Structure 1
Amino acid sequence: MKSLVCRKPGVLELEMRQMPKEAQAGDVLVDIKHIGVCGTDFHIYEGLHPYLEYPRVMGHELGGVVAKTANGLNAGDVVIINPYLSCGTCHACKRGKPNCCYQIKVLGVHCDGGMCERISVPAENLYPAGDLPVRHAAMVEFMAIGAHAVRRSEVHKDDRVLVVGVGPIGLGAALFAKASGAEVHLLDSSQGRLDMAKERFGFKHLHNAAQPATEVLAATSGNGFDVVFDATGNQKAMEAGFQYVAHGGSFVLVSVVHGNISFADPEFHKREMRLIGSRNATSEDFERVLTAFRSGEIDADALNTHDCSIDAFPEQITHWVHDRDTMIKAIISV
């Protein structure tokens, strides 16, 4: 079968590998139809991922079709793949938080992923998509991360929300915060990303990162935002985000950096601020996205800005890696 192998930073090759004919115990064979390209994949390609060993088959945003009937799923069923492989036995898993399992493995990061024609996946990591188009199924996972962050934040109707970093993950958080009835503001260094969010999804409150913080805060009469989400993956931006939080507000760190983040404790305490980490997503969040896609609450087609075939991707990624300001979600077709 065709497999995309990132051998080392900057080297992505199409390789023929043995197609799995039988699933591992407890697994189901899935024929991959569409793959969403994530910022993580670009980081792996660029050599910027801190927790990865090469060579690696990337790909964790996956929509496919069950290849063989097994473990309660029928051949031909369209499925969404939850790429977070949890152990099921650690403290976090036993408390219903498999998204932060102590021994978690993510497809395409800690082990080979789904940029290939067929993959064997634990049955519990497969969610039936029903009548959802399989192309849309490949966009559920990244949106589930935003849905999880919003659920963790406990956003209320009429809250003022600031999302810093309007890449795919930040946009997902913004869309689900908006769906919760919040007044959503977006902050990004790319005017192109801000304009695209306005054009495709109707966001009105846009702030360029070049603006002084006082100008951004002026939109709240200087009070700050009830909830701030950071989806930048940038240490300086994360540290700067504290200043935007209102007294009694929450700061949700959706992105992660390899290093320490510091903040002024007096400022943190006088706000009685909640600092929340948000990691991955759970089945509840996947279901929330499914509902939003099916109902039209969120336009899945508007998320899909770029396309290519699995054969063309090794060449295409050399261009896309430098053109992410115009990209929400690129989809590879298998």
Structure 2
Amino acid sequence: MKTIILEQPGRLVLADTPQPSFDPQKEALVRVHRVGVCGTDLHAFHGRQPFFSYPRILGHELGVEIVEVGSNEQGLRPGDRCAVEPYLHCGQCIACRRGAPNCCLNLKVMGVGIDGGMREFIAVPLAKLHRANGLSWEQLALVETLCIGAHAVYRADPKPGELALVIGAGPIGLSVLEFVQLAGCTPIVMDTNPKRLAFCREKLHIAHTIDATQSPLENLLEISKGELATVVFDATGNPSSMMQAFRYVAHSGKLVFVGLFQGDITFNDPDFHRRETTLLATRNARPEEFIRVIRLFEAGKIAIEPWVGERAKFEEVPDRFLLWTAPDRAIIKPMIVFD
């Protein structure tokens, strides 16, 4: 079967690999129709992704079709369209027992800790398939990205009317923005890329955008009438941005780190205490978020058309991938087509 393998940083190769075996009592064999390319894949390509080893088959944002499946309680059948929850948890550790399988002590993420979906077929545990026959392949492939934003906003628990700053207008930042708006907050978007800020203004109709290279604190103070943002999401994974984000939080506000990097974050402790800042991390998403995102898609409350900026066939991916990693790229979400 057609497979894309990241052999080492900077080297993607096309390969022909055997079709995977599967346990029909626990898994389904699925055909991959779409794979969304995300920041995790791009960081892995550059050798900057935590919890990662090579070689690896990337791909955890998947729109799939069930090909073979045994009898199951979920009623899954061949031909069903599904989104994939790519987080394989143990079910026994303290996080799993507390209802947080997204941060399981023994977590394995498809396309990161184990091989993922940049191939024609893959075996997926039955519990990780979320059926949604009314959605397109691309909607299904975007469910996981949107779940990251849904979980981040769930963690912050903002109230309607709050001023919410989203730093980083890449796919994850945009997924956060989606749920910030659904929560009834007033959004502000900050980024260093003028093309992405223009995208937010023109395509998503965001009234307030801030160029992070042009006096960002002063601009935020002006927009907020001197009070800053009561909830701040940093989706950059950039240490400088993450440390600067403490300055943007209003007194009694919350800072949520959505992105991550391999290193330490420092902040001024007296200022942190003076503001009584709540600092939160967010990792992956829970099954509840997958169900919620699918229901929102089905209800027509999420539009993803502006997100998908480019589609590439299997054989085009190695050449296109390097272009997708360019820091000033305007493309928000590349999509790999396996049809």
Partner in structure 1 of residue 246 of structure 2: 242
> 1:11 aligns to what?
11
Q: Is the 8 A contact 1:24 1:120 kept in 2?
A: no
Aligned counterparts, 1:162-173, within 5 A: 162-173=165-176
| TM-score, normalised relative to structure 1 | 0.97
Aligned to 1:273: 277
CA distance in 1: counterparts of 2:54 and 2:24, whole angstroms: 24
Quote how far apart the aligned CAs of 1:268 are. Answer: 1.2
Counterparts of 1:25 and 1:74, CA distance in 2: 13
Secondary structure of residue in 2 paired with 1:56: coil
1:120-159 matches, within 5 Å, as: 120-159=123-162
Name the residue aligned to 1:312: 316
- Name 1:32's counterpart in structure 2: 32
| Residue aligning to 1:41 | 41
Counterpart selection for 2:208 from 205, 212, 215:
205
2:142 maps to a residue whose letter is M
Equivalent in 47, 67, 78 of residue 75 of structure 1: 78
Structure 2 gap segments, 5+ residues each: none
Q: Mean Cα displacement is larger for which, 273-282 or 68-77?
A: 68-77
Displacement after TM superposition at 1:24 (Å): 6.2
My pick for the range that moved more, 154-163 or 257-266, is 257-266
Partner of 1:107: 110
| Bigger mean CA deviation after superposition, 42-51 or 182-191 | 42-51
Counting matched residue pairs gives 334
Q: Distance in 2 between matches of 1:105 and 1:289?
A: 22
Mapped pair 1:298 → 2:320: no
* Residues 32-68 of structure 1 deviation map (CA, whole Å, 9 limit, x = unaligned): 1100001111111122223221111000100100111
1:237-291 superposed Cα distances (whole Å, 9 cap, x missing partner) = 1110011111111101111121111111111112121111111001111122212
- Aligned 8 A contact 1:187 1:206 in 2: yes
CA–CA distance in structure 1, aligned partners of residues 260 and 322 of structure 2: 25
- CA contact 1:157–1:182 (8 Å) conserved in 2: yes
Query: After the TM superposition, which parts of structure 1 deviate over 6 Å for at least 4 consecutive aligned residues?
Result: none
Please give the alpha-carbon distance, in whole angstroms, between the structure 2 residues aligned to 1:216 and 1:274: 19
Alpha-carbon offset, residue 319 of structure 1: 2.1
| Cα shift at 1:21 | 4.9
- State the identity as a percent: 39
Q: Tell me what 2:232 maps to.
A: 228
Give the 5 Å matches for 1:51-70.
Answer: 51-70=51-70
**Equivalent position amino acid for 2:39 in 1:** G
- RMSD of the TM alignment (CA)? 1.3
Deviation at residue 23 of structure 1 after TM alignment: 3.4
Cα deviation, 1:168-195, whole Å, max 9, x if unaligned, reads 0011101110111110000000111011
Secondary structure of the 2:210 match is strand
Distance 1:243 1:22, change over 3 A: closer
How far apart, in 2, do the equivalents of 1:202 and 1:95 lie?
A: 39
Instruction: Look up the equivalent residue of 2:157 and give its one-letter code.
Output: E
Could you say which residue in structure 2 is the equivalent of 1:256? 260
Within 1, Cα distance between the matches of 2:169 and 2:276? 27
Q: Deviations over 1:14-41 (max 9, x none)?
A: 1001112543651111111100001111
CA distance in 1, matches of 2:247, 2:323: 36
Contact kept in structure 1, 2:27 and 2:69, CA below 8 Å = no
TM-score, normalised on structure 2? 0.95
